[in-house]
Structure 1
Amino acid sequence: MAIAARPFWVRVHRWAGLATALFLCVAGLTGSILAFKEELDAWLNPRLFLAADPGLPMMDPFALRDAVREQLPWARVDHVPLRREAGRAVVFRLTPRPDPATGRPLPLRATHAFADPYRGKVLGWRDEGALSLARENLLPFIYRLHLDLTLPGVWGRLLYGVIAVIWTLDCFVGFYLTLPAPGARRKGFWRAWRPAWLIKPGASASRYTLDLHRAFSLWLWALLLVYAWSSMMFNLRDQVYMPVMSTVMPFDTSWRGAPVRPAPMAAPALEGQAALSAARRAMDDLARERGFTIDGEESLMLDRRRGLYAYLAHSDADLRRHVGNTAILIDADTGERRGVYLPTRGAWGDTFSNWLGALHMAHVFGLPYRIFASLLGLVVVMLSVTGIIIWRRKQLGRSIAASRRPG
């Protein structure tokens, strides 16, 4: 970039920062909390998440599902959790029942139910889309705020997607602006660039604010770019992420490519244990083909819109230690494979995307990285606030200088 272009990129950086500051503050603050979402949710709502172990064996997964169905006749329960933890409730996803007269979905009271795996009793339920600060809804509300600002429909995610695009591009603009000007490089590039990486001790408030903004941006630049680009992946996957990334990486699109049926499936030919056995066989075949090993089951869920079962398991291809994302789709009538989703061992683009998502959500490298990710959310807030302070001081300085000019 030419010297004359530098003032232009300063203005671009300034306005990009101002446009994204509020949204990044919200995302940073909520993200720092969500790094510990499961623990905080269980701490706030023990009646939902904890189930006293009476010394009895846990119920069969399908028997437990049927017990939940009987207690919640106003909802469909097509989700069968297969992973169990001693002393923990089993969480079921709920879907709306169709109106017998019109076939349209009826209003749904809740999106998730919590069941005692020993006795089959429903401990409670909640609507994770509810805009409420009540204890049982607090963490889902924070998640919605982080995900889409609680805006209706797709508008929140589209807005955050646009912010992610600006943030991604601004990462490169900001990095460029930290580089020393050509005239300053005569004494050596690194010697001229080194102050940008440091916080000067004993500096004035203005210099200290600038050093905080610049130094933290440089030291954490790669991870900030990861969070910016992964935010675009989550919010503008089809519009931006896939068109860009598929030009340089191959993807397996079978997981999302199955067509929607003309009408939702009423009763699949495979049900209960027969569906699970078919899913296990299909997963075993896939494991032999791709060279991974299954070491635990996660869930089986019927997708009536597409006539498929989604079967999730944990394998050595997973990035997360305890939660499985190795998945396969099978036809709900025939058991034939219809799609796969592999965290690794598959197409390069899928592996890259899974790493992006796992880093964004702090699902890798254990507790140390979760703490780091939580602190990084606060750093994002600090960078946004210091950017506004720097802009405001410069604006005031220009105003004062203009008022002192003759005429």
Structure 2
Amino acid sequence: MRCALLALLLLLPGWALAQAALSSTLSGTVRDSLTQKPLPFASVFLANTTLGATTNEQGEFTLARVPAGSYDLVASFVGYRLAKVAVTVGGPAPQQVALPLAPESSQLGEVVVRARRHANRPEDYQRFIELFLGRTSFSRQCRIRNPRAVIVDYDAKANELTASATDYVEVENQALGYRLKYYGMHFSANFGQQLVTFYGQPVFEELVPRSAGQRQRWANNRATAYRGSLTHFLCSVYLDKVAAQGFLAQKLRVIPNPPFARADSLRRQLLRQHQHTALSSAEMDSVARWARVYPSLQLLYTAPRPLDSLRRVAPDGRVYLRFTDYLRVTYSREPPDPLYPGPPRLPGGPPDPPPRQQVSRLQLLAHEAELQPNGQLLNPLAVLVQDYWGFEKMGEFLPLNYAPLSPIP
């Protein structure tokens, strides 16, 4: 499964202190792009964080104590298109940003109100819920508060499920204590390719705990979601602490399986010959045997990959995630979620024992992907995750400015 925007940020304690020292103030104005009039009470936020504000009557906003790093600054206002601009915060000096918003209008200048073409089919919406929120223990404590804003479509010919929202999708996570508004959501699930992709510009809001016990439970659950996550691993790569943080990274090669072509050809030929007649018992055994021949083989190199085969450090100090083939990443300091079914099992093979460790597979979709000092991928769409990281979804989604309260053991 693709983890498009679920690049969950890890901040180790030492880095958290550095971030506080390098925090800055971000301010600016939101205006109508045509009339240049200020837009009061517009929502402005840094995507994937808890940092947001509302513009005043002059369309002005201020975001204080913004940690150093690269962000998407997003503005939203009813009747206008979502605006997004990339910003980099690198020091204590305040920064000014202008955010022009274009009206959502027709050729006649009338505001377009996007309406639902039809009601969602219950089975399609349920599949979207399972793939978007996830099937983890934490996901069971998540709910979408505005389901009528979600538009789900299934294309039977492409075998693909897509979803979008009229404005935003509001998700309440009672496991982690967050409410998030997911603006500009693009969701697709291609069942033929076994690929799920979703991305957008979410903003987080901390829920108010009802008791000290709930506050502590949320803190514990956030730490659980954080340990062993993709960004925990990426930050350990950036800081050269892969083994120290409990990770084992190994090379995994996927190569063609030579017998597959002949087995697949024989299976298809036999099935074509019996389109209108039944297969004999021996022929059924042959079809089953040929179907168990996989198109590819996986070769696992047991030795841990050295750091220089995981990343590249440029002369200017920038760090890039870079490796060949696939990366098999094992996290040994926390067991998998009890609801994790394990990786896909080979057809006809014996049942696999319950997994005892969190094992994920990582693939680079580009030659390399830049890592920021906080462990965030500059382009989250540059990687594809499978197995355990693919199992985790919105139930484990943490804001970029989340920082653990204690060192990771």
TM-score w.r.t. structure 1 length? 0.24
Say which structure, 1 or 2, has more relative contact order (CA 8 Å, 6+ apart).
Answer: 2
More helix by share: 1
More strand by share: 2
Compare CA radii of gyration and give the structure with the larger one.
1
TM-score w.r.t. structure 2 length? 0.24
